[in-house]
């Protein structure tokens, strides 16, 4: 569950190579985190079958949609899932171990599940503007999409695209006051790494030209 802004930054970096319709790619890169809007669960929208895991299972997604990866929205969705795999399996484990978090000062805190989530989301809110500025994420054009793509992904019908756009508006307007875990110098290397990893996965699958 990397933040929406982190997902958009990864998608933008990937698109520097792919040269797709950026708004459609952005829409796909945000869609999985809008599960609640479609009355679905994160497990469904992120293709997770293990009840004890938060990591997307890419093979399940690819079994259903690999042949659709030439579609820009589907590709953005895939980029989101790959980024979340890296987030949970390689990045977040450096800060959160079950209910124990390690703060930026090195302090270890034992917290309830919801408290851990609250701290992570507070950090996201605090960093959003920094990440937007670093990657020059001008979202004004995105808020007024002239046309919307058709969704091939049954887990997220296009009827909810406008709700996703409204969600990013609300997230973008929030401002946090303090970061407990992450800083921009940690997030930027993650975004750069995730973009390269996504491009490698896309090349490996061979469904789009690099």
Residue 193 is predicted with a pLDDT of 97
Model pLDDT for residues 4-23, shown as the tens digit of each residue: 889 999 999 999 999 999 88
pLDDT digits (tens, 9 = 90+) for 134-161: 999 877 777 776 677 778 888 877 677 7
pLDDT tens-digit series, residues 40-63:
778 888 999 998 888 999 999 999
CA–CA distances in Å: residue 124 to residues 107, 179, 192? 19, 8, 17
Instruction: Look at residue 118 and tell me whether its pLDDT is greater than 90.
Output: no
For the whole model, what pTM was predicted?
0.88
Cβ–Cβ under 8 Å, residues 202 and 21: no
* pLDDT of residue 209 exceeding 60: no
Mean pLDDT of 190-195: 96
Cβ atoms of 56 and 78 within 8 Å: the answer is no
């Amino acid at each position: 569950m990397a933040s929406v802004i982190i997902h958009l930054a990864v998608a933008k970096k990937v698109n520097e190579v792919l040269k797709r319709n950026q708004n459609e790619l952005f829409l796909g890169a945000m869609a999985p985190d809008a599960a609640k809007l479609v009355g679905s669960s994160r497990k469904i929208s992120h293709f997770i079958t293990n009840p004890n895991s938060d990591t997307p299972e890419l093979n399940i997604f690819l079994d259903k949609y690999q042949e659709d990866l030439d579609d820009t929205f589907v590709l953005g969705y895939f980029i989101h899932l790959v980024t979340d795999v890296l987030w949970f399996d390689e990045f977040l484990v450096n800060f959160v171990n079950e209910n124990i978090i390690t703060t930026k000062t090195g302090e270890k805190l034992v917290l309830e599940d919801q408290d851990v989530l609250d701290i992570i989301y507070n950090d996201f809110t605090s960093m959003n503007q920094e990440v937007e500025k670093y990657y020059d994420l001008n979202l004004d054009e995105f808020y007024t999409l002239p046309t919307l793509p058709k969704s091939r992904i049954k887990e997220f019908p296009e009827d909810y695209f406008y709700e996703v756009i409204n969600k990013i508006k609300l997230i973008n307007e929030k401002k946090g006051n303090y970061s407990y875990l992450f800083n921009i110098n940690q997030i930027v290397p993650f975004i750069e790494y995730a973009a390269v990893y996504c491009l490698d996965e896309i090349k490996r699958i061979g469904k789009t030209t690099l």
